[in-house]
Amino acid sequence: MYGFIKALLRCYFRIAYNLKFEGRENIPTDTTVIYTPNHRSNADPPLVGSFLKGHISFMAKEELFKNKIFAWLIRSLGAFPVSRGKGDMKVIDTSIERLENDSLMIFPEGGRSKDGKVQKGHTGAALIAARSGKCIVPVGVVYGDKLRFRTKVTIKYGQPIDPAEYVESREEPNPRQLVKLKNRYMADIKELVEGGQPALEAAEQPKIEQKEENADE
pLDDT in tens, 116-169: 899 999 999 999 999 999 999 999 999 998 899 999 999 999 999 999 999 999
Q: How many residues does the chain have?
A: 217
pLDDT at 84: 67
Q: What is the CATH number of the domain that holds 195?
A: 3.40.1130.10
Per-residue pLDDT at 61 exceeds 60: yes
SS3 208: helix
Q: CA separation (Å) from 193 to 22, 164, 181?
A: 12, 25, 19
143 lies in which domain range? 2-216
How many structural domains comprise the chain? 1
DSSP 108-147: TTSS--SSSS-----SHHHHHHHHH-PPEEEEEEE-SSS-
pLDDT at 90: 86
